[in-house]
Structure 1
Amino acid sequence: MTQAPDTAARRLVETLVINGVDHVFCVPGESYLAVLDALYDVRDQIKLVICRHEAGAANMAEAYGKLTGRPGICMVTRGPGATHASIGVHTAHQDSTPMILFVGQVGLADRGRGAFQEVDYREVFGGLAKWATEIESPERTVEVVERAFATALQGRMGPVVIALPEDILHDQGGPEPKQAVTPARAALSPAFLAELNERLSKAERPLLVLGGSGWTDEAAMAIGDWSERLGLPVALSFRRKDILSNDRPNYAGDLGLGCNPKLTARAKGADLIIALGARLGENPTQGYSLFDRTETGGRLVHIHPGPEELGRVWPTLMAAVSDNSLAALALSELKPGRSWHDEAETAHADYLAFSTSVAVTGAVNMSECMKTLGEVLEPTAVVTNGAGNFAAWLHRFYGHKACRTQLAPTSGAMGYGVPAAVAAAIMEPGRQVVNIAGDGDFMMTAQELATLVQYDAKAVFVVVDNGTYGTIRMHQERDYPARVSGTDLKNPDFVRFAEAFGLTAARVETTEGFRPALEAALAADGPALIHLITSPEDIAPGRTISQLRAG
């Protein structure tokens, strides 16, 4: 069947093209075959990446949004396809990542009948997405998709979900798109900047906290250079360690899970905190205990692209709505007339001490392995991870050196790292891509290795295998010592598993064996996997199960 040139499906695809979309991540479905057919005609402009599970497709689209700052596009079918993909939407919402999920839907004529795989997507995704809608008038297709781009990119970035009733995709789609969406960007006012400069000039112990999404290389470099010139200590928010090089002499560390106690003390003792882009949610504020609501009104300057985040938890001394990059460029022009190099030196020394390798009981020291990772990888290498205690070793002991080199979910989603690595490897074949995954984390989306191989992409996967769901086991041993229930894992031979997909693979059981295995994996002609055997006793940096059981 040949489609007419002006159907809603074709208008949808035309709108993607004019807005610069170059990748679409999908699991195909009969409910949106008309869109897949329209994508065939632009296959030289949009690469259609066929995934093995909708969660993988959605996570790949989210990773695309993190890497590019443009909406990642995901397409799935109705019902189970959409609900599988919801994990990526949740991550995009928590992580402020631009993303658009297109979901096939039952025909308009059958809506409300409980038709096969019918779901009310406005209801299901209403709390997960910035906007969830359904195209009900085919002639408004371009309007709806353009609004999706604007919504995903403006203010606090995030995901949009659009349901596509199967029948209207064949109808006349209305006017064609004329131009790309240009999102609105708020900027700091001269009056705000002048007042901030005055307050900064009087601060004795200031701290700059950077976070959020949408950072440009120029803006990150500008505020990094500015803060370094002033000796202004900088902390990065949870899983935003790649905004600035961690080698900068004023870098104080990251405010996340397992935070350096000295950084926590520095934040508590700062007389002026400038938080740019960071929402200051639960993890960066150590379970909302880092600050006291009764006193933040006297020292917190909060700048964020989403007005709903200002004053949401913490009263402020000053607050402003601004795009993160525009705000960073504006701040980099301030001249407070003083510096804090002694504070910066102490803060960075505290970071270096905290990121020094720690002792372990087993044959593999993950702190040493993550140090080795930093020594071997190129500065622009992309490192991905999902969630689990294995990530604590990565975030504490691996230092990022360039912007957009970290793909990690602030949502704490297991299974994110594998598809994120696959997406990065497909998008940017010239960059090194390494995924660090726990054994439980890896198995949640391991089928996407097939996607990697199908597109001749190259990445290295390090599976940290301790035979347990480590984070839950740690809390279990703390609260219910020696009563192991529901956390032990029986794993496959990950070397043979990887080889079945066409990867080269090696098993590593000692710290000394990691470097040669990593170097060999990076030098391999195609993708590779390292099966890294660790002891469950070394449950987290500086913590063992025996210590937890002893109280």
Structure 2
Amino acid sequence: MTTVSVRHAVHELMAFHGMTTIFGNPGSNELPFLKDLPARYILGLQEGTVVAMADGYAQVTDRPTLINLHAASGTGNGLGALTNATVSRSKLVLTAGQQVRDMVGPEVMLANVDATVLAKPLVHQSLEPLSAADVPRAFSQSVLAADRGPVYLSVPYDDWDAEVPAAVIAELSRTVRPATVVDPDVIADLRARLVAAERPVLVLGPDVDTDAGWEASIALAEALEIPVWAAPSLPRLPFPNRHPLFRSVLPAAIAGIGEILGAHDLALVIGAPVFRYHQWQPGQYLPETTALVQIGDDPSAADRAPFGDALLADPVEVLSALAEAVAPGPAGTWSAEIDPAATSAKDGVLHPEEVFATLREQMPGDTRFVVESTSTNAAFWAQMDLRRSGSYFFPASGGLGWGLPASMGVALADPDRPVVTIIGDGSAHYSIAALRTAVEEDIPVVIVLLRNGTYGALDWFARLLGVDKAPGLDLGEVDFVSIARGYGMTAEHADDIAELGRLLDRARAGGGPMLIEVTTEPTNPDGGASPERTRSTT
């Protein structure tokens, strides 16, 4: 009987599944797996950075993406970033090295006694094979299970040199594909309810942010002239934000959503849970006069919804079938009417709206924006005009430190579309070492760092909760240009809009990573200026 090492078998399974890029931060327990690695290894200098890069990569490729972490400590470092991937249901396989089997029980250095528990409940499946011979099968199971979200696999490092029958490679080179055909009777019923409704509304979520999802949702909305809202706490944009039927992103509060959807008699929520609330503003979920149907392929989201009916199905398939059922005409065209950007009253300080207006005007229409500047949320939507799927990425659970490395994963996954990272100075501190990966891998990201010296979103939330003089909100002034240059990155500061425009042109022409720092006026997520600054408009 021909045998191969466990390592060789797993490497072959990686190739079968197209796992040609790995994101990691290795330690001693992981080295035996990395021997003769047949894949590109993207190094992150901290595990949170590693997980966020892989998350961005997986969201764009929509394929299982392999992560290599170091034992328990490395796994622990990555858990903050994993919260975002869990909410996004990103297809991640997190592998972690374990001590040799004979040394786990005595709890020696780098042993993880409860390895399968460590990443729960953030992963929906967690494995540590009971024998070396079962490692290839456990790896195969993890890759296939990642189609439903992140999974965790712990492997003792002496397992990689163990021998297994070579036949397991062919046996485990298998696929599992879900059926995507939607029951025609279900589509007919939904169509009838839409047509019969006097005031229907669509609420779209991140799961329909695909080319097919955008095409179908635009066709359906235009055919029936239905207003469209985006689901709250939005990590992806499911509909063009300047379309005349697009209203906005729903507020992340019970009372706010209940009031908005209460004006309609039928709400179809497609590709989003019901709902991801944030601030506590209690009220009635929905009046009795509003019926709600949630459509998605996440059983847990359907189970935990506090109201409404649910249909378990692929949301894009349902949208496409509905659009076809109402026989829409050709998609319409629209022009964006955007109010002039607000301006700052202080020299050398820009209003965030000025920055976003410049990005809208100068960056190509297919640019992907990875955003982690919560306090400028309203300013971003006031100025941007996004007309392509996959144009907007935001940390799904609100975990900071995600945006900077995630943008690198996004750019690695699709080098054909420009990538702009919009990040606040508070967020940048969490994962600043990701700049080194961008330089080493020559990743063409344009990083626009908005420096306002404060945790603006937290300041706004503190006032919302009536918390005066909350500590820890003042960040001071940090020279991020010098930090970036220290990592070997091209970096400049823009004092005005003209200079920002010139630097954006330079970044696009250069082709590599570049950081542009801008001092900005503090603003709030709801669009208001912070009390200590004035806001003027032109």
TM-score calculated relative to the size of structure 1: 0.86
Q: Distance in 1 between matches of 2:7 and 2:517?
A: 44
Q: Distance in 2 between matches of 1:258 and 1:280?
A: 11
Q: Distance in 1 between matches of 2:420 and 2:374?
A: 17
Q: Distance in 2 between matches of 1:391 and 1:82?
A: 31
Change (3 A) 1:163 1:481: closer
> Do the aligned residues in 1 keep the contact of 2:377 with 2:526 (CA within 8 Å)?
no
Equivalent residue, structure 2, for 1:414: 400
Equivalent residue, structure 2, for 1:534: 520
Change (3 A) 1:277 1:173: farther
Secondary structure of the structure 1 residue equivalent to 2:395: coil
Change (3 A) 1:82 1:173: farther
Secondary structure of the structure 1 residue equivalent to 2:95: strand
Residue 36 of structure 1 pairs with residue 34 of structure 2: yes
Change (3 A) 1:99 1:525: closer
Deviations 1:222-257 (A, max 9, x none): 332232233222222233553333343322222355
Indicate which of 6, 9, 13 corresponds to 1:8: 6
> Do the aligned residues in 2 keep the contact of 1:61 with 1:74 (CA within 8 Å)?
yes
Equivalent residue, structure 1, for 2:22: 24
Change (3 A) 1:148 1:356: farther
Q: Distance in 1 between matches of 2:328 and 2:378?
A: 39
Indicate which of 92, 95, 104 corresponds to 1:99: 92
Change (3 A) 1:522 1:256: farther
Change (3 A) 1:196 1:538: closer
Equivalent residue, structure 1, for 2:163: 172
Q: Distance in 1 between matches of 2:524 and 2:199?
A: 36
Q: Distance in 2 between matches of 1:18 and 1:102?
A: 18
Q: Distance in 2 between matches of 1:243 and 1:490?
A: 36
Secondary structure of the structure 2 residue equivalent to 1:79: helix
Equivalent residue, structure 2, for 1:429: 415
Matching of residues 467-486 of structure 1 within 5 Å: 467-479=453-465, 483-486=469-472
Q: What letter corresponds to residue 150 of structure 1 in structure 2?
A: L
Deviation at 1:293, TM superposition (A): 5.3
Deviations 1:298-355 (A, max 9, x none): 5101111022222423322x421112222222222222899xx9xx99xx99x967x7
Deviations 1:260-305 (A, max 9, x none): x8x985423121111111012333x865758625638x51011110
Deviation at 1:131, TM superposition (A): 0.6
Of the structure 1 ranges 209-218 and 124-133, higher mean CA displacement relative to structure 2 is found in: 209-218
Deviation at 1:436, TM superposition (A): 0.5
Q: Distance in 2 between matches of 1:8 and 1:406?
A: 40
Q: What letter corresponds to residue 503 of structure 1 in structure 2?
A: M
Change (3 A) 1:478 1:88: closer
> Do the aligned residues in 1 keep the contact of 2:435 with 2:487 (CA within 8 Å)?
yes
Q: Distance in 1 between matches of 2:18 and 2:140?
A: 12
Deviation at 1:117, TM superposition (A): 2.5
Matching of residues 360-371 of structure 1 within 5 Å: 362=346, 363-371=349-357
Residue 139 of structure 1 pairs with residue 137 of structure 2: no
Deviation at 1:514, TM superposition (A): 2.9
> Do the aligned residues in 1 keep the contact of 2:418 with 2:445 (CA within 8 Å)?
yes
Indicate which of 135, 155, 160 corresponds to 2:151: 160
Q: Distance in 2 between matches of 1:367 and 1:289?
A: 31
Change (3 A) 1:243 1:33: same
Equivalent residue, structure 2, for 1:246: 241
Deviations 1:413-447 (A, max 9, x none): 11111101222233333321110111010121111
Of the structure 1 ranges 207-216 and 269-278, higher mean CA displacement relative to structure 2 is found in: 207-216
Secondary structure of the structure 2 residue equivalent to 1:278: coil
Q: Distance in 1 between matches of 2:208 and 2:33?
A: 29
Equivalent residue, structure 2, for 1:503: 489
> Do the aligned residues in 2 keep the contact of 1:185 with 1:322 (CA within 8 Å)?
no
Deviation at 1:54, TM superposition (A): 0.9
Change (3 A) 1:221 1:177: farther
Q: Distance in 2 between matches of 1:519 and 1:320?
A: 47
> Do the aligned residues in 2 keep the contact of 1:90 with 1:129 (CA within 8 Å)?
no
Indicate which of 174, 187, 190 corresponds to 1:193: 187
Equivalent residue, structure 2, for 1:282: 276
Equivalent residue, structure 1, for 2:67: 74
Residue 295 of structure 1 pairs with residue 288 of structure 2: yes
Deviation at 1:502, TM superposition (A): 2.6
Q: What letter corresponds to residue 126 of structure 2 in structure 1?
A: A
Q: Distance in 1 between matches of 2:362 and 2:179?
A: 39
> Do the aligned residues in 2 keep the contact of 1:185 with 1:323 (CA within 8 Å)?
no
Q: Once the two structures are aligned, what percentage of the paired residues are identical?
A: 23
Deviation at 1:96, TM superposition (A): 1.9
Secondary structure of the structure 1 residue equivalent to 2:90: coil
Deviations 1:367-408 (A, max 9, x none): 122122122221221111235313443345323221112221
Q: What letter corresponds to residue 165 of structure 1 in structure 2?
A: P
Matching of residues 177-256 of structure 1 within 5 Å: 177-178=170-171, 179-213=173-207, 215-237=209-231, 238-255=233-250
Q: Distance in 1 between matches of 2:298 and 2:235?
A: 18
Q: Distance in 2 between matches of 1:54 and 1:205?
A: 48
Q: Distance in 2 between matches of 1:416 and 1:404?
A: 17
> Do the aligned residues in 1 keep the contact of 2:274 with 2:294 (CA within 8 Å)?
no
Indicate which of 492, 507, 522 corresponds to 2:478: 492
Change (3 A) 1:322 1:130: same
Q: Distance in 2 between matches of 1:131 and 1:387?
A: 32
